[in-house]
Amino acid sequence: MGGFGAKAYGKIGLETDVITGDPHRLILMLFDGALLCIQRGKAHFAAKRIAQKCEAISTALEIVDQGLRASVNPAPDPEFAGRLLGLYRYIIMRLLQANARNDMAALDEAAKILGDLRNAWIQIAPSGAAGKTAAPPVAGAVVESAVATPARRALNAYQA
């Protein structure tokens, strides 16, 4: 299959995942997309492709702001949701700083926090969803069939 066909096939696969995906999987896809854009931004910066770096980091910003942050539902647990929203605001600020100042330490910090949130998200996968994530399991993490109370709070923090 040529490059164009592979891209088209990949896009159809992504669109299908979004349309049919469960909410847990969709949030995981947002984490993965933001982290991928950050990696691309770092690669473009290293290659001195500043316009592409800006575009990649801007896309990561959009994913964090309009995807992850916007999907937080404060109703079930306002305190927890407030902390999560604070983390997303901080990540957004660090991404803005990284983009404006070519600050790779800020980019690394944003990626680290997103990676930690992603790993926590994988750990609280509802039973049956863990196998569908196609993400590597976190070392030592066991997804229980009955989700513990803190995990339930995190799951409830996102709108379905």
Whether 7 is covered by a domain: the verdict is no
- Mean pLDDT in residue range 144-154: 42
Give tens-digit pLDDT for 10-49.
444 445 455 556 788 899 999 999 999 999 999 999 999 9
Choose the weakest-confidence range: 21-35, 109-123, 136-150.
136-150
Say if 5 falls within a structural domain: no
- In a domain, residue 8? The reply is no
How far is residue 95's CA from residue 119's CA, in Å, rounded to a whole number? 20
Q: What is the dihedral of CA 80, 119, 143, 138, to 10 degrees?
A: -150
Model pLDDT for residues 62-111, shown as the tens digit of each residue: 999 999 999 999 998 999 999 999 999 999 999 999 999 999 999 999 99
> Domain span at residue 87?
21-120+144-156
Distance of CA 121 to the CA centre of its chain: 9
> What is the number of structural domains in the chain?
1
**What does the pLDDT average to over 132-137?**
39
In the prediction, which pLDDT does 60 show? 97
The pLDDT of residue 21: 67
CATH number at residue 44: 1.20.120.340
pLDDT of residue 102: 95
In angstroms, what CA-CA distances link 45 with 40, 55, 106, 108?
Answer: 8, 11, 13, 13
Residue 64 main-chain phi, psi, to 5 deg: -65, -45
Give a yes or no: residue 43 inside a domain. yes
**Residue 137 falls inside a structural domain:** no
Contacts of 85-93 with C-beta under 8 Å, sequence gap 24+, read: 87/113, 87/117, 88/64, 91/64, 92/61, 92/64, 92/65
**Residue 135 within a domain:** no
Tokens standing for residue 45: 């910066």
